[in-house]
Structure 1
C-alpha cells in the first residue's frame, strides 16, 4: 500500500497517497516536456521534493546531472488542492494553479535554455547564475509568449523576499527584477524605481555597470557561456561580495540553476548582516506580489473561473467596442471610393524609389549569427588541443568529455516585422500636396514588397483605401474635394488593414494634413489608442497651405509618446521625410 504524503500549509494538513503525487508528476512532466522541447526529462512533484539548501528549500529546482525537474508542492499548491484533479496541459487548470504552472515553466526554461558553465570562482559563478535567470526567461517568452503570464503569476515564489540590504543584494535585485524587465517578462510600469531602491547601497557607477551587464547578458544566445561569464566578471569586479575566490563548480549537481532569490545565491546576507527592509524595499516587494496576484486573477477571469472586476469588465467592453469599430471602418474603407487619377512615375521618381528600397533593405539587414558547435565525433574541424585532452582522459581511465571536432553553423538573423500606414487628407485645401503624397505612398508600397506591409487611406468627409500596384509603375493620385473630418475613420481603417494596435514589430502611421480639422477629440482618442500600442506616428503638417498649423492639434497630439510633428514648408520633401523616418525606425529595432 502506498505511503501517504501530507501537504501542510497554514497549520492545515491534507493527506494524499504517494501514487497521487506520482501521477501528478507524470502529467506535469508532459507539460514540462512540451515547453522544454525535450523527451529525456524526469519531473517530480511532491512534498519537500526540492533539495534542502542553506537558508531554505526552493519552490522548484532543475539538475543538469540527472535531467530532473523537481517542484515542491507545499510551496506551489494550497492544502485544499487535490493532485488527482490537476493537469497543466489543460489551460483552465493552468489558470487554476498559476504558481505551480509558473514554477514548472521556469524550471522547464532552465532545461531548454541553460547550459553548464564549468568551473568558475565562487563569486563569478554566483553572478553568472543570477544573470542566467532573466536571460533564460527572456528566451522562454520569446519562443512561447503565452508563458509570460505564468512567470509573472509566480513572481513572488521565483524571487522570494528580494529586498536590498547590502551592495550585493541590491545588485541581485537589479539583475533578477530589472533583468526580467529588460527580457520582456515584467512591465516597468508595474514596479518601483529599482535604481532608487538600489541607490541606498550602490553608487551610480556600480548601478550603471550592473544594469549594462544585465542587459548584455539578457540579449545573449543560448550556449554563449563566454559572454555570460564576461558579464559576471564585470559585476564581480564592481561589487564587493562576500564570496571567496575558491574554484567551485558553478553548476552544482543538485542546484536549482538559479530560481530567483533562493538561498544558494546568497539572498540571505547572514543573521548578523540583516537590515530591516526600508519603505522602498517594502514597496517593491508589495508591487511584485500585487503584480503576481493581478496577473493570476486576469488569467482566471479569462477562463471564466472568477468573475472579472468592474474595471476589468469595462476594459474588456472598451476593447471589444474598439475592435468592432476597427473592423467596421476597414469594411467601409475597402468598399468606399474617392475620385483619383492614374499616371506613370517619372524617371526621377523611379530613381528615388530605388534609393528608398536600398535604404530600407540596408536598415533591415541584421547580418548572420555564427555558432561554433563542439563535437566529440567527426565531421568538423579538428581541434588539436581538445584531441590531446581526450587522449589524456582516455589514458587516465576517465570518461572522455573533450570535443576534438567543431563545426560552424551560420544562420541569417531575421529582421523584425514592420508596417507603414499613410493617411492623406484630400480635402479641398490639400490640393497642392496631393501629387507628392501619392508618389510617397507609391514608393513606400514598393519598398514594403516582400519586406513588410504598407497601406494608404485617403479621407475627407469619409475614408477610402487608395489603390496601389506593388509591381510596375502606376501612381494613383487622389483628387481634392470635400471637408476634412474623416481622419478617425482613416486611422481605424489603417488599423484594420495592418493590425497596428494588435500587431508586433515596427509600426508607423504617417498623417499628411493641413491640420484644419474639426473633430480634435475623436482624432486624439484614436491617436492615443495607437500610441498606447507602441505605434509611432509622424504628422506632416502642411503649414504653407494653412498659414501655420493650429497649435491646439500639435500641442495635444504631439504630447503623446512616439509622436513626431513636422511642419511641412516644402511639399517636395514629403517623400524624403517619410523615407528617413522609416529607415530610422528600422535601424533602431
Structure 2
C-alpha cells in the first residue's frame, strides 16, 4: 500500500549526517525558515542523502527539516544567502517550502490505536491540506510548491488499477487542484483515469472529503482521523483490516493509472511521454561498463546501407493512382476554386486557389515501422552475442536512413538498453553473455515503453532472439499474447541446436546459424512494410 513519507509520527531517527560542503546552505536556510513558518525553533539540514530516504522531511519532535542536496546539484550552483538563489534551485526550494508548511500547520498527531490504514489516509489528506494553508498564508509560495509535486510522487504510486490506488492518486493530485497548487489542465489525464476506475459518484464523495480536510484546524486530529475513516468507507475498505497489497501481475502491461501518472510527470517536466520515458530508461538501463566497444567494419557499414535501401524501396513499393490539385490545366475544373482564383486576381493578390484537379500516380502512404529487437544474453546464448551486437548497429543505422524507428534491448540477469529509438551509434557494443534470463518480461515492457508497441494505427513488430528458456514462461506468454492482440507482430528466432520453449501467438523460426538471425529480422521488417 503506497503512502507518503510520514511527517506526523514521533521522531525515532538520529540527526542526518551534516556535510561540511553544504554547511552554507544549511545555515542560510535555517535563518530563512522563520520567514516561511513564523517559527524560530527550527533547523534545516541540507546534505546528500538527507530526508530519511525521501526528497525532504520534517521531524516534529526535534524541529528539524532535512532536504536532500541532490535536488540542488552542487554547493556552488547558487549563493543561498541571496534572495535570487531560489530561482536557480526551484525544486529544492519548493521542498523547503513544503516541509515548512508541515512545520507550520501539521500541529496534530495521529492518536494511539489508530489503524494503519486510517493513518495512511490521513497523511495523504494532510499533504494537500498543509499546502492549501501555506498558500493561503503566503500566496507567492504556490510558485515553489508546484515544483515539488513531481518529486513527492513515485511511478510506483499506481501499480494496479484498483479503488485504493485510484483514490490514493486522487488524494495526491486531484486534491492539489482544489488546494490551488496545480491546475485541472495539469492533471486532465490523471482525472480521466481515476474517474474511469472510481466512477464519478465515488470521486465526488472523495472530493468532498479532501475539501473538508482543507478547512480543518491545524491542531484538530479528531477531524482529520474522522475524515480518513470516511474515506475508507467511500472506497469500501475495512479500516480495521490492513488491505492486501496487490502484487502487479508481471505478465500484464502498465494499467491506466500508471500510464496517466507517467504522462503527468512528463508534462510537468516539459517533455512528451516518449521523451520522458526515454530519459528515465536511459538512467535505468545503461550499457554495463564490462561491455566493450569497437568501430564498425566495412561489411557492417555496407550491410546497413543495403538494408536501408531495401526499407526505402518497401515504403514506396507500388505506385497507386491518386488525384492532386493544380493551378494550371490539364485536369478537371473545380468550379468553386476557379471562382475563388478569379476573385483573388481581381483583388490584386497572388492567387492561391487551385482550380484544376489532375490524376497522378503517387506512391501509397506508408506507415513508419516501429521495430523492437530483444536479445537474450544469458550464458547459453553465447554464439549469438557477436552477430546480434553487429545486428543492433546495422538496424539502428538502417532505420535512421529509412524513416523507421528501431530499438535493441539485451536481457539476461539485467536489462540493457543497447540502442534506443532514433539513435545512430558511433560504435558497436559487444554484448557479453553470462548468468540467466530472468529479465525478459522487463525487456518486453521496456520495448513497449520506447516504441508504443500496443498503440493502434502504427506498424509494429517485436523480434526476439532467444531459446525461450525463461524464468516465468506463463507471464511471458501473457505479454506476448497481449502484443499479438494489439496488432503487434512477434517474430521469435530460436537457436536450432538448443532446447527451449515455443511461444504461441508468434512467428517462430529455428535458426541454425547465428548470422542468419540478422537476415531474418531484416526480411521480416521489409515484408511488414511491403504488406502494410
Asked if Structure 1 and Structure 2 have the same fold, meaning a TM-score greater than 0.5 normalized by the shorter chain, the answer is: no
Scaled by the length of structure 2, what TM-score is found? 0.43
Scaled by the length of structure 1, what TM-score is found? 0.39
